[in-house]
Amino acid sequence: GIFFFRNRHALGVSVMHHYTTFSTSLTQFLLSRYFAFCALFVFLFLVIATYNRDYVDSMPPDRDLSKEIEEYAEVCGSLTSDLEGTGPERFWIYFVTPTYVRPQQIPELIRLSHTLKLAKNVHWIVAEDSTSCSPQTAEVLRRSGMPYTHLISPMPAYFERFLRKPKGVSGRRAALQWLRHHLKDLDSQRAGILYFGDDDNTFDLKLFSELRKTMSVSMFPVGLVGDYGISSPVVKDGRVVDFLDSWADSRKFLVDMAGFAVATDFLMSRPSAIMPYLPGHEEDRFLQSLDIELEDILPLADNCTQVYVWHTKTLERDRGVIQHPKGWRTLDTNLGSLYEVARYLGLSDVNASR
């Protein structure tokens, strides 16, 4: 007892030394495992990114994927009409909108339909990424009262394995195929302008009068794009000389999908023009397949000083689940019908277990 009492300080120092050593070793062990995990994560990320980048760069723009992958397209419905008005308005604008099922789909299509109805002589081509014709989309198109073509063209299963998927490309390719067939006679009643307009974008009505000036290929600014907040051709002395865009990545034409239009007679003169399955490069490679140079591009929107289209996006949300309380009756209230509409529109499901 006297020994421990006299050496209590030395014993305390020894215990603290061993504790400190153990704590330091444990910390070093955990840090080494943490950094090893981080290094492994970075390595796997680079491998995946390189794998997908090789996939993007290894596919030439004129490659016919229809022989290598299974593509499918079907016409669900169509409504045509004669041209209205006189002068510059007597050109069809073939407005191509790829879409897919989600809670925001129907309200976005309804909103877009109201814009398109205000612009005369617009033929709306809606292409769904789906294996079956959606009655909800068909209803929106019928109610719009405007000329339309409803297509389905699901993204080929071949691309499901890739991290970066070519979203919307199958629909645009199906629309191009339908348009070529529709325009094969190239009579004055069907010639016009091709434009790709997504269902979540916002369009000024001035855009449509600008589009009708297109003789071969035209370009114009798009707002709310990339880190710059805007994407646009650079115009000098009335000619396109370069591009302003925050993302280059070896693209020749730094332009957003909503930032260009093509005259249909010019499109028909380029039978090999196609939009390839190249994520992030669809616009550039499609324009390259048209075999154009900068001097062939017509700058619109007051020499690209005005913005008439914005790349807006609706807040994404999952399909909701309504918690229907026990004891609440649906037969004598509006809830039964409301629940059916919510299911039909893809807004929500009902959980009646509470």
Annotated binding site for Mn(2+): 200
- Cα 345 to Cα 339: distance, rounded to the nearest angstrom: 10
Just list the catalytic residues: 283
As given in the structure block, the two tokens for residue 175 are 């629309």
The answer to whether residues 99 and 105 touch, using CB atoms and an 8 Å cutoff, is: yes
Other beta carbons within 10 Å of 293: 8
**Residue 50: C-alpha distances to residues 47, 246, 297 (Å):** 5, 21, 33
CA angle at residue 347 from 258 to 331, to 5 degrees?
150
- Binding-site residues, in ranges, read 200
Label residues 272-281 b or e (16+ Cβ within 10 Å = b).
ebbbbbbbeb
What's the CA gap between 19 and 27, in Å, rounded? 12
Residues 190, 294: Cα–Cα separation, whole Å: 28
Q: Helix, strand, coil proportions of the chain in percent (round to 5)? A: 40, 20, 40
